Structure 1
Amino acid sequence: MAPRPREPAQEGASQLTEIRDGFQYIRGDTHLVPFFGYLGFIMVLITPAAFLTPLQTARSFGDEVWRLTAIEMVFSVGMMVGGAALAAWGGFDSRMRTMVVSNLIMGACTVALGVVPHLGVYLAAMGIFGVALPLYNTPATVMLQERVEPAYLGRVFSVMTMLSTALIPLSMLRFGPLAEVVSIERLLQITGVLVSFLGLLAPLHRRLMSFGEPKRPPVESQDLAS
């Protein structure tokens, strides 16, 4: 007999239960708490670079369609290049180190987007930002797949999805009105400096950095191999 489909209310309750269980699992893991805190701060701080740059381009360089298309295309091509480079390179042995390097590049690019007066340089900074993004997203996903118990992996990813779908719109509710009072360039400069500062602080957090260390085989396996 085919299983009966869930009612919408049951599906909603199930999703909430998964998110609640995911939060409980994260709260009980000493590595996941700082890791998700790190992810959350980055999500908030890169919001202006992710969503206010089209408005900045229209205000500073002109609102012609080709200009707005150019920044989207350059960013997308950058992401493809970054993904291909990561696939060929594989990143550092410590996945957190790869994320931190990406973090620093994104911070520098965000500051650059807030200071460059020429569209060509602006597009170059946007492209490099796109290259750096896969170096941040991919290791984060792989680390969770490696470190989280399989039974809780879906729940933890539900929390990650919830954070991204909640923090970014909430951040825009703050940064959007600010962009009418403070110049977008100034917002990019401030958030870019904060992103870079976070990247410099992250290596000082031993528990956070140890989360990205490669998993070692059990001692018994090493002995048998030798």
Structure 2
Amino acid sequence: EGFTWIWSKKPLVMIMGISLMINLVTNPAFTLLPLLITTYFKGGAIELAWVQSANGLGLILGGIALGIWGGFKSKGRTAFSALFVASLGLLGFSQTPADMFLVGIGFVFVFGFMNAIGNSSFFSVLQTVIPHEMQGRVLTLVMATSIAVSPIGLVIAGPVAELFGIRFWFVIAGATILIGSLMGFMVPGLKDLEKAWGSETE
């Protein structure tokens, strides 16, 4: 029933498609992170911990910042703006020279910070536009499909990373987020979705 309801709302289908594509490429990227640290940055467990901590700290502070700030009036605009900056952080990390590891840590922090704002705003939009009686089923479907695409992404990422290098997969991940964020602004009805449908939940 949740799938049927989502399928009847084409803008929501597009937003879910964007979300699934981002999860498809981003989750494998961070699974490959230990190999990137050892093979490219010539680091070890400590360097990996720094990068993971930067991402985690960014997520925490991003959530706090959104709680204080509240985002733009349009949660959709907030989500897609945050994803745009997050994509730049990931692309920046993918292009960081091996001898500028601290700069790479900074890019990962930016990614984590903006990713927290983007994801929180995205779920806020869903809670606004989905009728209360459908929220449990629809949100469960959204989370389940997001988790389900991760193994598929790993199957694809392995051979691609082996052929073109791990950094190339990070470029793919960053570019996918960038394209998704731009689609959010360019496709009519996406960035202001909650404004148009907010009355449906009342």
How much does 1:171 deviate?
A: 0.6
User: How do 1:1-226 and structure 2 match up within 5 A?
Assistant: 21-117=1-97, 118-213=100-195
CA RMSD of aligned residues (A): 2.0
Conserved in 2, the CA contact under 8 Å of 1:74 and 1:127?
yes
State the TM-score, normalizing by the size of structure 2: 0.89
CA offset digits 1:136-194 (Å, max 9, x no partner): 11111111212111111111011111111111221111102221221111222233223
Distance 1:147 1:216, change over 3 A: closer
Q: Find the residue that maps to 1:81 and give its secondary structure.
A: helix
Paired residues of 2:129 and 2:198 also in contact (CA < 8 A): no
CA distance, structure 1, for counterparts of residue 138 and residue 197 of structure 2: 19
Whether the aligned pair in 2 keeps the contact of 1:113 and 1:122 (CA below 8 Å) is yes
CA distance in 1: counterparts of 2:76 and 2:128, whole angstroms: 13
Cα distance in 2 between the residues matched to 1:74 and 1:100 = 22
- Unaligned segments of structure 2, at least 5 residues: none
Identity of aligned residues (%): 24
Q: Secondary structure at the match of 2:71?
A: coil
CA contact (8 A) 1:112 1:125 kept: yes
Provide the C-alpha distance between the structure 2 equivalents of 1:116 and 1:48, rounded to a whole number of angstroms. Answer: 19
* Gaps in structure 1 of 5+ consecutive residues: 1-20, 218-226
Instruction: State the AA in 1 paired with 2:38.
Output: A
* Number of residue-to-residue matches in the alignment: 198
State how far apart, in whole Å, the 1-side matches of 2:129 and 2:198 are: 12
Following TM superposition, the consecutive aligned residue runs of length 4 or more in structure 1 with deviations greater than 4 angstroms are: 214-217
TM value normalised by structure 1: 0.80
Pick closer, same or farther for the CA change 1:75–1:216 going to 2, 3 Å: closer
- Higher helix content, 1 or 2: 2
Shift of 1:48: 4.2
